[in-house]
């Protein structure tokens, strides 16, 4: 859990609200402690009309807590100022994760509409807190005298972080500039909110509806069945519907023999937010960039990238660019080689056309079958979703001694959500894990992990266990057949589970330092877990054929592992192109007349992106940077990939993938003690040295 006004900022884009009818406070479940198993939100009791009055009450309560800190007649010290501020906002910390979680995973038009009402209210309160001069004066007094106080390491970090939060957000600016920055914050939050709503609408509005069975040529039976099931849900029985959810569009591009339909579906995906309609994001995005740049300038930075990266492991935009280019050059070289191999295949098959972006999945799949004799349909039967879930649980048991007990008495927000109690090695309660696996119109695209309550400690020093949620958009089951995951979906499951472990083990004493790590460190715990997914020692524990129960054959495992370096030029190039586009938007000068498409085109031309590859996200559908979390920070996935490859190499070179000594050091320094160490300090304590880029380049076949 982060400091309370950080909760405000991160939740502004995800608030869920309700009608203006105000229920009686005694009937509002959000205004009291949750009387449920393990304090999980009582989702079934929470109605739309509860949200707005709950937030209003939380704001008033927080104002009172801040006033108490300011009016304290004693000299400012750690307990009466820093600790008091860190503990303030308890009600808000209870409500915000519910709003944020539900608006991302199970939204509806009422929640979206009232988010537009709540967002400015929250931004105004956040501004009131962060710019409060009396509060900042007390915090600064403690900060200035921190060396003379008897503070332990975590208390010192808490003091420094809280002071830095205020200073970086403009508390030290002159009054006129503070007022201007408040207005900018208000505008930014609303623009960001609208960008997200437009993208959700674009995702839901596009559908490729097929009526002729001949248009299904080349598609595997499970893909066809899923499309038929989607059509039934859309009221189009007897037809086939393909959507912009990954389990739908990716297999279509991989297997469909209908080139014109592949183009239509892929264009639907990469043109989201760029269709000159009511949900177009070009003008909104440019407005967002202008607001961010102006805010960064007021805070003393040349651009927003400087502002954001100053708090990360990378430290400067120049370091980020240097890092990205180290991978870009070998990745682009590999991608060109992959392109040429696909064009050769097209020519060999008598195709009289040049490879385009919508052809890449189709011909790379053909090449994979040809080169490695590996068929996605051959793999999927061993990765039924229940098997993959069991695999991540087995891994957590082997590394950390965790057990997962399915519970039906724990509240959930949707019938498809699974609830588990997590029990640690000592047999004690560690937390709750909610798993939400399948796509639906009320859920945004992608996969993520969050909390409905972060780990922490109460005023009596008792541990507060976390309530963690994993949200994905995986292939649905069809008829009697379970959901069979692709290899990409399988590794995504492991990835999000890595984030879940981070949340489950977090052990900081304070809200602001509990799971406080740089953004370019936070993907390490998720990405390292992906490495175990394909290891034979673990595969034999979870990869069973859903019909025969047969463990995945060794020859198929060998094919799978040999193919891990296949198409890595594309995988890295499409990602890096998006990461560089993000950096360019947040560093290169522009003005209100800048054409968004031209800026994007020039960015890609500058780095030499081949036209057969489209950036993983284009400007108008780049949800990561429409909100603040990954703005000027999309690079972090590859930065963390260097960390995770080097960290996993430690297990490999030890000769034991489940090495208990390494697992305990990893748990302690990477997952648990985030309150004590900054990113590189924590990594070195685990690894004994700084990371090398070589294991990543070797794993990716780029060296």
496 is catalytic: yes
Distance of alpha carbon 383 from alpha carbon 587, whole angstroms: 43
- 353: its two tokens: 């056309």
Per-residue pLDDT at 461: 81
Query: Are the beta carbons of 429 and 38 closer than 8 angstroms?
Result: yes
pLDDT over threshold 60, residue 24: no
**What is the sign, positive or negative, of the torsion defined by CA atoms of 189, 195, 199, 200?**
positive
List 365, 376, 496, 535, catalytic entry:
496
Q: What integer pLDDT is reported at residue 425 of this predicted model?
A: 97
| Alpha carbons 124 and 591: distance in angstroms, whole number | 27
| Contact (Cβ atoms closer than 8 angstroms) between residue 202 and residue 621 | yes
471 touches 449 (CB < 8 A): yes
Q: For residue range 654-671, list pLDDT tens digits in order.
A: 999 999 999 999 999 999
Place of tokens 């989201």: 272
pLDDT digits (tens, 9 = 90+) for 205-238: 999 999 999 999 999 999 999 999 999 999 999 9
Single out the residue of 559, 236, 525, 523 nearest to residue 378, CA to CA. 559
* Tokens standing for residue 271: 């043109």
Nearest-10 crossing angle of helices 48-71, 90-105: 150
CA–CA distance, 391 with 498 (Å, rounded to integer) = 13
26, pLDDT greater than 80: no
pLDDT band of residue 119 (cuts 50, 70, 90) is confident
Q: Which of 548, 543, 448, 449 is nearest to 503 (CA)?
A: 449
Maximum Cα interatomic distance, the chain, rounded to a whole number of Å: 85
pLDDT at 95: 95
Calculate ∠ Cα 333-347-332, nearest 5°: 10
What is the tens place of the pLDDT at every residue in 265-314?
Answer: 999 999 999 999 999 999 999 999 999 999 999 999 999 999 999 999 99
Q: Which of 4-13, 122-131, 284-293, 566-575 has the lowest mean pLDDT?
A: 4-13
pLDDT at 10 over 80: no
Strands 429-436, 467-471: pairing kind: parallel
Query: What is the DSSP code string of 186-237?
Result: HHHHHHHHHHHHHHHHHHHH--EEE--GGGGTT--HHHHHHHHHHHHHTT-T
Chain segment 603-630, per-residue pLDDT in tens: 999 999 999 999 999 999 999 999 888 9
248: pLDDT strictly greater than 50: yes
- φ/ψ region of 575 (left if φ > 0, alpha if ψ in -120 to 50, else beta) reads alpha
- Nearest partner of 467 among 509, 504, 413, judged by Cα: 504
State the pTM of this model.
0.89
454 within 8 A of 499, measured Cβ to Cβ: no
Q: Is the pLDDT of residue 18 over 80?
A: no
Say if domain 4-130+132-169 classifies as CATH 3.50.50.60.
no
Q: Where are the domains of the chain?
A: 4-130+132-169, 206-270
Spatial contact of 165 and 85, defined as CB atoms under 8 Å apart = no
Provide the pLDDT confidence category of residue 431 given band limits of 50, 70 and 90. very high
Contacts of 167 (CB under 8 A, 6+ apart): none
């Amino acid at each position: 859990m982060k400091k309370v006004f950080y909760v405000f900022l991160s939740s502004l884009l995800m608030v869920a609200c309700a009608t203006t009818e105000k229920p009686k406070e005694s009937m509002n479940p959000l205004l009291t402690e949750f009387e449920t198993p393990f304090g999980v939100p009582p989702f079934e009791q929470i109605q739309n009309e509860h949200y707005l009055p709950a937030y209003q009450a939380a704001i008033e309560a927080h104002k009172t807590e801040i006033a108490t800190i300011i009016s304290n007649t004693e000299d400012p010290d750690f307990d009466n100022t820093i600790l008091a501020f860190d503990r303030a906002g308890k009600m808000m910390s209870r409500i915000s994760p519910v709003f944020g979680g539900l608006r991302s995973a199970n939204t509806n038009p009422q929640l979206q509409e009232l988010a537009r009402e709540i967002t400015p209210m929250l931004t105004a309160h956040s501004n009131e807190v962060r710019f409060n001069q009396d509060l900042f004066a007390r915090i600064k007094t403690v900060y200035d005298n921190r060396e003379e106080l008897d503070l332990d390491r975590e208390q010192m970090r808490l003091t420094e972080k809280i002071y830095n939060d205020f200073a970086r957000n403009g508390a030290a600016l002159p009054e006129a500039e503070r007022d201007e920055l408040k207005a900018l914050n208000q505008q930014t939050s609303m623009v960001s909110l609208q960008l997200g709503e437009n993208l959700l609408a674009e995702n839901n509005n596009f559908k490729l509806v097929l009526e002729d069975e001949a248009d299904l040529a080349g598609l595997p039976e499970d893909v066809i069945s899923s499309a038929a099931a989607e059509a039934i849900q859309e009221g189009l029985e007897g037809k086939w519907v393909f959507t912009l959810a990954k389990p739908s569009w990716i297999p279509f591009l991989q297997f469909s023999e209908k080139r014109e339909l592949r183009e239509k579906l892929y264009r639907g995906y990469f043109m989201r937010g760029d269709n000159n309609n009511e949900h177009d994001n070009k003008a909104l995005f440019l407005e967002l960039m202008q607001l961010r740049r102006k805010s960064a300038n007021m805070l003393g930075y040349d651009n927003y990238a400087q502002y954001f990266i100053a708090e990360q492991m990378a430290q400067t935009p120049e370091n980020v660019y240097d890092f990205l280019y180290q991978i870009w050059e070998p990745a682009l070289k590999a991608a060109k080689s992959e392109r040429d191999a696909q064009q050769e295949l097209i020519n060999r098959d008598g195709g009289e056309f040049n490879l385009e972006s919508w052809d890449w999945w189709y011909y790379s799949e053909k090449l994979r079958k040809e080169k490695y004799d590996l068929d996605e349909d051959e793999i999927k039967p061993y990765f039924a979703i229940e098997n993959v879930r069991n695999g991540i649980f087995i891994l957590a048991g082997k590394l950390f001694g965790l057990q997962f007990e399915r519970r039906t008495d724990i509240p959930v927000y949707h019938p498809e959500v699974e609830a588990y109690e997590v029990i640690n090695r000592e047999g004690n309660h560690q937390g709750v894990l909610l798993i939400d696996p399948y796509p639906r119109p009320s859920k945004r695209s992608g996969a993520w992990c969050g909390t409905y309550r972060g780990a922490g400690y109460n005023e009596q020093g008792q541990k507060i266990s976390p309530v963690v949620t994993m949200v994905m958009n995986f292939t649905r089951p069809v008829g009697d057949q379970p959901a069979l995951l692709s290899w990409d979906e399988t590794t995504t499951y492991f990835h999000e589970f890595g984030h879940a472990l981070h949340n489950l083990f977090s052990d900081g004493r304070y809200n602001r330092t509990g799971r406080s790590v740089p953004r370019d460190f936070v993907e390490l715990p998720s990405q390292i877990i992906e490495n175990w997914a394909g290891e034979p020692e673990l595969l034999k524990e979870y990869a069973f054929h859903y019909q025969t129960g047969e463990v995945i054959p060794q020859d198929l495992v060998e094919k799978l592992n040999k193919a891990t370096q296949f198409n890595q030029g594309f995988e890295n190039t499409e990602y890096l192109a998006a990461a560089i586009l993000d950096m360019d938007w947040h560093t290169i000068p522009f003005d209100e007349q800048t054409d968004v498409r031209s800026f994007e085109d020039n960015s890609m031309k500058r780095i030499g992106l081949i036209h057969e590859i489209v950036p993983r996200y284009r400007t108008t559908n780049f949800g990561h940077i429409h909100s603040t979390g990954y703005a000027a920070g999309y690079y972090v996935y590859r930065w963390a990939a260097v960390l995770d490859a080097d960290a996993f190499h430690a297990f490999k070179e030890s000769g034991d993938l489940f090495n208990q000594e390494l697992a305990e050091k990893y748990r302690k320094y990477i997952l648990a003690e985030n309150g004590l160490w900054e990113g590189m300090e924590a990594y070195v304590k685990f690894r004994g040295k700084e990371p090398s880029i070589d294991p990543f380049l070797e794993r990716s076949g780029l060296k």
